[in-house]
Amino acid sequence: MHILEILNTDSFISGEEIAKLLKISRAAVHKQITRLRGAGYNIEGAQNLGYKLVSRPDIITPEELKHYLKKNGVTEHSIFYFNETVSTQDEAKNIAEKDIKFPALVIAERQTGSYGRLRRQWISDEGGLWFSLALKPEIEPDRIPQITFVASLAVCRAVEIAFGLSPQIKWPNDVMLNGKKFAGVLTEISAEVGKLNWVIVGIGINVNNPIPDSLKGSAVSLLEATEEKINRAEFLSIVLSEFYGLYALFLEKGFSGFQKEYNQQSMLIGSRVSVDTGDGVVEGVAQKIDANGYLWVKAPDNKIEKIIAGDVIKVNSKLIQTSKI
């Protein structure tokens, strides 16, 4: 048992009782309280009454995260926490190569060399949620890219649950609020013939972090959208709970298990779009995302183009900026 599971926000608990529950001395209790206060926990101490937890800090240490994960039913998880790292993707890849228990969560307060799709720079200042999940699903490698859909939809659902907002997905990996991007997903894999080693799903969410002026036209944070400072550990545990629920469905039924919901959340369907496929730009009206995850676009000659991957650069004649969140 951990002292944070004992401290209560509604009532005081005596040092003696804490010591008994943790099977440690009163002096050791005092030491732990001092450590927690140092980490930003506001703990009130009153003579004859004991200790009361007044507020928790906005940190995402495993200790803090485990509290909320348990509350949201996510228990089986290894957690690797970094105050600062180059990229949680790289850390997760290293970790996945070792003999670890999947799934694993790698999270950092700040990243100095983080990247998104097509190796675009991704800005990860303090206050956001920057994390990577190391997974080992037993599925055909060609279905792996659809895990990006699992993650984008999980972020959408979590924002709806936590803040009552209605985000939209810009296929394949962007999550938007009122036409501005607040989250992105990057899925990377390592496989050999007939053998999948690991999948790393990287998720970046603008939460309490500032958005640089140069990106204000295309990016937004949840802080700006909700006008309130967000408890990131609590919000992350909702994202993960939604992710694992959808992931289980995906492993069982494939993308068809939530294809309808994904299409309903898509900002493209019915809109005039321009998609850069790498081989050229496809223009037309977006019809749907099919069971394989392809985007169907009806060209002016009524021909349907099925796009496997690409960058949506325009929606209803509006240019979409795609870099750095």
Interface ranges with ligand BTN (CB under 6 A) = 87-89, 111, 114-117, 120, 122, 124, 130-132, 173-174, 184-186, 202-204
Q: To the nearest whole angstrom, how small is the minimum distance from the Cβ of residue 116 to ligand BTN?
A: 2
Q: To the nearest whole angstrom, how small is the minimum distance from the Cβ of residue 124 to ligand BTN?
A: 6
Q: To the nearest whole angstrom, how small is the minimum distance from the Cβ of residue 174 to ligand BTN?
A: 6
Q: To the nearest whole angstrom, how small is the minimum distance from the Cβ of residue 62 to ligand BTN?
A: 17
Residue 152 or 241 having the CB closest to ligand BTN: 152
52-84: b (≥16 Cβ within 10 Å) or e:
bbeebebbbbbbbbbbbbeebebeebebbbeee
Distance CA 227, CA 89 (A): 30
Residue 36 or 95 having the CB closest to ligand BTN: 95
Cβ–Cβ contacts within 10 Å for residue 142, how many?
A: 9
Residue 87 or 209 having the CB closest to ligand BTN: 87
**Beta strands across the sheet bearing 295-298:** 304-307, 295-298, 281-289, 272-276, 311-315, 318-319
Q: To the nearest whole angstrom, how small is the minimum distance from the Cβ of residue 88 to ligand BTN?
A: 4
Q: To the nearest whole angstrom, how small is the minimum distance from the Cβ of residue 212 to ligand BTN?
A: 15
Residue 146 or 173 having the CB closest to ligand BTN: 173
Q: To the nearest whole angstrom, how small is the minimum distance from the Cβ of residue 5 to ligand BTN?
A: 29
Q: Write out the DSSP string of 84-150.
A: EES-HHHHHHHHHHSS-PSSEEEEEEEESS-B-GGG-BB-B-TTSEEEEEEE---S-GGGGGGHHHH
User: Which residues neighbour 227 within 8 Å (Cβ) at sequence distance 6 or greater?
Assistant: none
Residue 18 or 200 having the CB closest to ligand BTN: 200
Give SS3 for 192: strand
Residue 53 or 267 having the CB closest to ligand BTN: 267
- The helix (H) or strand (E) run that includes residue 26 is helix 26-38
Residue 116 or 284 having the CB closest to ligand BTN: 116
Residue whose CB is nearest to ligand BTN in the complex, by number:
184
Structure tokens at 138: 């037993």
β-bridge pairing 295-298 and 281-289: antiparallel
